Amino acid sequence: MLTSIILKTTGKSVADIVNEQVIEQMGLQSTEWIKMSQPHLKIADTLRDSDSIFWTETDVVDGSGMNMYASAQELTLWGYIHLTGGKWGGKQIIPREIIQMATSIQTPNHKHLIQKNGFLWFEKDKNDSFNQIGDAVPSRSYQLLGYTNVALLVIPEEKVVAVRMFNRYGSPEGYDYLKDIRSFGDTVYKCSKKITRR
């Protein structure tokens, strides 16, 4: 829905806007917003599996059939620009209001017992067993989860950005995804606290 609204109001796809206003402005070399089946011009060894049940593509020009592919280093920078409120190199390249909307809870009914969301980000408001973000991680933290078991966690309270990248599809038998992704956030937070105590 968001991609359709953006195309209708701006005349540009999400991919065009992200490329012009963020990727080029930041000078990113290993980040693309492309169709999954397109050759990756800058990113080597990214796994793609057209037989995957998660593989979905459309010919819609609004960008809804696309994904962002990035190296671990540049995915960290993507988190960092959200942490800085859209600033890069002393310049405001993404309006602060957009960053605030994207990283604050937009879920219509806060009373529903579901994971709360901003725009593309999972938001942490309080501890619940269904949260994608672990109990140790403070509220107002946010996280992106990717299709190839990628995680990008931002903890503003600690000024921390952390990335986990597996670059593979699917999970081994018996794997508890929710437990694993929650433990990732808890481990990152506990490590950040140990570093700040030194």
So what's the pLDDT on residue 14? 83
Beta bridge partners of residue 92, listed in sequence order: 87
Segments forming the whole domain that contains residue 64: 1-69
Q: Kindly report, residue by residue over 168-191, the tens digit of the pLDDT.
A: 666 778 888 889 999 999 999 999
Per-residue confidence band for 121, with pLDDT thresholds at 50, 70 and 90? very high
d(CA 69, CA 43): 8
So what's the pLDDT on residue 24? 94
Residue 169 burial by Cβ neighbours in a 10 Å radius (0-12, 13-18, 19+): middle
Total domain count for the chain? Answer: 2
Do 41 and 120 fall into the same domain? no
Do 61 and 8 fall into the same domain? yes
Q: What is the mean pLDDT of residues 136-157?
A: 91
Flag whether pLDDT at 134 surpasses 90: yes
Give the domain-ending residue among 69, 87, 121: 69
Q: Kindly report, residue by residue over 51-85, the tens digit of the pLDDT.
A: 555 455 555 565 666 778 888 999 999 999 999 99
Give the domain-ending residue among 50, 69, 88: 69
Do 48 and 75 fall into the same domain? no
So what's the pLDDT on residue 130? 84
Do 86 and 56 fall into the same domain? no
CA 61 to chain centre: 22
Provide the CATH number for the domain around residue 169: 3.40.710.10
Do 104 and 42 fall into the same domain? no
Do 90 and 166 fall into the same domain? yes
Do 28 and 117 fall into the same domain? no
Give the domain-ending residue among 21, 50, 69: 69
Q: Which of 36-45, 94-103, 113-122 has the highest mean pLDDT?
A: 94-103
Q: What is the mean pLDDT of the chain?
A: 83
Span of 51-60, 67-76, 99-108, 127-136 with lowest mean pLDDT: 51-60
